[in-house]
Structure 1
């Protein structure tokens, strides 16, 4: 792959995500995995490590010159990372809690970041046999056994008044979310697991907005950001500033919001709380 075209890298990322996803699904179906607790009290399983090994090996074999950042790796310090013009950004299982709880709402995330911007995103949902993907300037797509199509965010009939569909976490307090949404709109809710699947549902028009309050990593949003953007939406920090990639010592995100139809006055709906 001498020229490292985005088309070639997309093909590689899709293959890696599906291969890892099928291995995860095999473990999930058998229920044969071990669970551990990280230093930050978040869960991780032997399936996370298995998927990470599959993805990193495949990417390193084909693109050894492109460095990798993964949630499950010991990652390089900023003094080394800041010189990377291009790197892979991976979350082997986004939604580990959902994997453990057997809700089926977990996904494999692979992004390619260039000059601090995600330019390629692949998200594979193993239990849904569904692949979401995008590259910068080429649109976002959904691929599953019975369909393969370009996807776009939902256009509300009336951006000022239509009912807004919120993708809500199965595990997070709804009160925290509704506390930060304007009471002037009518809302419906769609319970889902992983951050990336909520973002994909917004990208394909099944939901309109998702607010994440709490700690996440850049690997939780990299692939989603490319897909949502190419589908006509946006992912921004909760104060409506852009998310950043590989610019600080920490790889944690601030609270963020995923928004569909850009005609909707999201700044009036999403109430930013500095505390």
Structure 2
């Protein structure tokens, strides 16, 4: 296995370049041109430009390692089961938020080895913040200071998930756009089991970032999403001391199924707390 920490500067540079391309479209005058993909999800020029930058840059960085992106062709995606090691990329996570102008979108890059994410980078283009997690090595938030033309430096700060505090509200991180009966049932169970809840809504993978830096306790996801939406966030949360589990209580794995849809998951800041085993046992 390659030296994972040594990859971080190059991946940060690629995410920054992709983020600048996204911001160019975001700040352009006029409405964003949007197409609909076969699953009715939106596609913009920003998605495609970011895809090309990341695909080509990652292939140059590690020529023998395939790149699987949300915007890869169906033929390319079909070959993924032969890959023990590959990059899993969402060039623009939160396209609906991008189109709506909320600013809540990210670039997600994960390295998958043996079905597990071993490196995850989530980059927020507008504030130029990158969250990097390497399980076993720790998690960091990187802030880019520069003139916007590529010159500048990354300033790193170690981040960690937080323990549950008895008597304090339980901070639930949830999607701005996804609700549903299962989520409502989960919130009702947690309110009864714990007490006061605080719900914080946001788009894209920002919930993983908040969890990893100690700004939340629990992110349940029951609505559909894809593996490229989750993998980088899982690496980040695990590296920061948390866990991302399927409903069977086991860590999520990737490239195991015919579908690229992710299984429902629970992202937990303090996985050692007994509350979560009780929650899993409740079969919600």
TM-score (norm 1): 0.90
Q: Which residue of 2 aligns with 1:188?
A: 198
State the shift of 1:86 in Å.
1.0
Distance 2:24 2:86 in 1: 29
Write out per-residue CA displacement over residues 28-61 of structure 1, whole angstroms, 9 at most, x where no aligned residue.
1115632111111211211101100111111122
- Offset at 1:21? 0.8
The CA deviation at 1:7 is 2.6
8 Å CA contact 2:243–2:251 kept in 1: the answer is no
Q: Which residue of the partner structure matches residue 258 of structure 2?
A: 249
Rounded Cα–Cα distance in structure 2 between residues aligned with 1:76 and 1:114: 21
Q: Which of 174, 177, 180 is 2:183 aligned to?
A: 177
CA distance 1:49–1:127, shift in 2 (3 Å):
same
Aligned equivalent of 1:122 = 121
Which segment is superposed worse, 167-176 or 47-56?
A: 167-176
| Offset, 1:155 | 1.7
Query: How far did residue 81 of structure 1 move?
Result: 2.6
- Which string of whole-angstrom CA distances, capped at 9 and with x for unpartnered residues, describes residues 97-136 of structure 1? 1111111110000011111111111110112221000223
Structure 2: how far apart are the matches of 1:36 and 1:180?
A: 35
Written as runs of structure 1 = structure 2, the 5 A alignment for 1:87-126 is 87-126=86-125
Contact 2:241 2:269 in 1 (8 A): yes
Please report the RMSD computed on the Cα atoms of aligned residues, expressed in angstroms. 2.1
Q: How many residues align?
A: 268
The answer for the alignment partner of 1:203 in structure 2 is: 212
Post-superposition offset of 1:84: 1.7
In the alignment, which residue of structure 1 is the partner of 2:157? 149
> CA distance change for structure 1 residues 145 and 51 in 2, over 3 Å: closer, same or farther?
closer
The whole-number CA distance in structure 1 between the counterparts of 2:156 and 2:252 is 30
TM-score normalised to structure 2 length: 0.87
Greater displacement, 166-175 / 49-58: 166-175
* Partner Cα separation in structure 2 for residue 148 and residue 30 of structure 1: 30
2-structure distance, mates of 1:77, 1:47? 21
Measured in 2, the distance between the counterparts of 1:23 and 1:78 equals 24
Counterpart in 2 of 1:38? 37
**Unmatched 5+ residue regions in structure 1?**
none
Q: Is the 8 A contact 2:68 2:76 kept in 1?
A: no
| Aligned match for 1:215, one of 215, 224, 232 | 224
| Segments of 4+ moved more than 4 angstroms | 75-79
CA 1:23–1:78 in structure 2 vs 1: closer, same or farther (change >3 Å)? closer
Instruction: Assess, with a 3 A threshold, how the Cα gap between structure 1 residues 173 and 80 changes in structure 2: closer, same or farther.
Output: closer
Task: Give, in whole Å, the separation in 1 of the partners of 2:175 and 2:182.
Answer: 11
Q: Which runs of 5+ in 2 are unaligned?
A: 146-154
Q: Does residue 1:82 correspond to 2:73, yes or no? A: no
SS for the counterpart of 2:82 is coil
